[in-house]
Amino acid sequence: MAEKKVTGYCVKCRAKSEFKNSKEVKMKNGRPALKGTCAKCGTGMYRILSAKKK
Ligand SMILES: [Zn+2]
């Protein structure tokens, strides 16, 4: 699989976690976001992809 490893903050693990089944979605305001589940616990995670690079 050539999937990029994307991490986000999981509120359940209270730590950074890898996205599982990440999907790029567009929010109502047109901003891109990433939707997926925590690879560790399966909790839904959502990450806004802003233009800012962190
Ligand atoms: Zn988690």
Q: Please say whether the beta carbons of 21 and 36 come within 8 A.
A: yes
Parse the chain into domains and list their residue ranges: 7-48
- Residue 17 CA to ligand 1 centre (angstroms): 6
pLDDT of residue 53: 56
With vertex at residue 5, the alpha carbon angle to CA 28 and CA 40, rounded to the nearest 5 degrees, is 90
- Residue 19 CA to ligand 1 centre (angstroms): 9
- Residue 27 CA to ligand 1 centre (angstroms): 23
Spell out the alpha helix ranges (H) of the chain: none
Q: What is the pTM of this model?
A: 0.71
The whole-angstrom separation of Cα 21 and Cα 53 is 22
pLDDT of residue 49: 87
pLDDT tens sequence across 19-46: 999 999 999 999 999 999 999 999 999 9
Give the gyration radius of the chain's Cα atoms.
11
